[in-house]
Amino acid sequence: MGLAPITSSSASTDTSTNSLSQLGEDYTRFLTLLTAQVQYQDPLQPMDATQFVSQLAQLSQVEQSVKTNTNLEDIGSQISSLLAASGSELLGREVTVYSDQVTLDDGNVDGYYQVPEGTASVTAEIRDALTDTVVRTVTDLPTDHTELQKLEWDGLDDQGNPVLDGNYTVTYSAVDGEGAAAQTYAYRKALVEEVLYTEGQNYFNLFGGETVPAEAILAASS
């Protein structure tokens, strides 16, 4: 799905304008034909004016409908612009989103997770986003269920070598005190670098290149 920066799209308006223009041409053509028929009608067999008046009334109704649709689309475009503008308020702010992507930047990682009450252990498997190879498995992560927990990763691989800054994916696994699997949720906190608007919805480009829809955002910094 292609995304477009916040702009007021004129595609629908252009379509309505073209429709109205075409209708205007048809309307003019009809009047010209009606005038010619009246001018050259057979005096002994006069034409039925009632039919032409009826057709003229129908054309007038259609013309009014197109104008109404154009007005409604203009209003819709204005509403869309307002929605896009409201999304722009998040530009430059840190947001918390559902995401299994993390970005390593100068030794800092922006990944977070949440576990349910009763969780006994948490493990994170970190993979290179490009090659999908495991670079690090982090064990014995905090199990506090009362708030989001930050992914504790020092930016080293399993051999103790520093990895390159960039994007990685993380999979969390957790077990409870009885060894049963516990549900985990992955998040990240990242800056909004660009607001996108398409198909009636806001999308946000985050630091690290990830694009998320508005419903993925859980919170934003003040």
Mean confidence (pLDDT) of the chain = 79
Q: Is the domain of 174 the same as that of 102?
A: yes
CATH number where 134 lies = 2.60.40.4070
**DSSP, residue by residue, 107-164:** TEE-EEEE--TTEEEEEEEEEETTT--EEEEE-S-----SS-EE----SB-TTSPBPP
Are 69 and 174 in the same domain? no
Is the pLDDT at 85 greater than 50? The verdict is no
Where among 66, 90, 114 does a domain terminate?
Answer: 90
Confidence class for position 10, pLDDT limits 50, 70, 90: very low
Residues 141 and 182 in one domain: yes
Range with lowest mean pLDDT among 9-13, 20-24, 61-65, 103-107 = 9-13
Q: Identify the domain boundary among 90, 123, 155.
A: 90
Distance CA 33, CA 68 (A): 27
- Tell me, yes or no, whether 179 and 121 share the same domain: yes
Tens-place pLDDT, residues 160-186: 999 999 999 999 999 999 999 999 999
Instruction: Write the pLDDT tens digit of every residue in 46-63.
Output: 556 566 566 667 666 666
Predicted structure pTM score: 0.60
Supply angle C-alpha 111, 216, 214, rounded to 5: 130
Q: Scanning the structure block, which residue is given the tokens 């829809």?
A: 213
pLDDT of residue 198: 82
Instruction: Judge whether 1 lies within some domain.
Output: no
Q: Considering the domain boundaries, does residue 42 fall inside one?
A: yes
Residue 171: CB partners within 8 Å, gap ≥ 6?
100, 124, 125, 127, 186
Q: Which of 90, 95, 101 is nearest to 210 (CA)?
A: 101
The structural domain count of the chain equals 2
Considering the domain architecture, whether residues 129 and 202 belong to the same structural domain is answered as yes
Domain that holds residue 152: 94-220
The DSSP annotation for 56-79 comes to HHHHHHHHHHHHHHHHHHHHHHHH
- In this structure, are residues 206 and 191 in contact, taking their beta carbons and an 8 Å threshold? yes
Whether residues 215 and 161 fall in one domain: yes
In this predicted structure, what is the pLDDT of residue 78?
46
Q: Are residues 108 and 73 in the same domain?
A: no
Torsion angles phi and psi, residue 176, rounded to 5 = -90, -175
Mark whether 75 and 37 lie in a shared domain. Answer: yes
Is residue 25 domain-shared with residue 41, that is, in the same domain? yes
- Over residues 137-158, the pLDDT tens digits come to 999 999 999 999 999 999 999 9
Do 102 and 85 share a structural domain?
A: no
Break the chain down into helix, strand, coil percent, rounded to 5.
Answer: 35, 35, 30
In a domain, 3, yes or no: no
75 assigned to some structural domain? yes
Least confident of 79-83, 148-152, 196-200, 207-211: 79-83
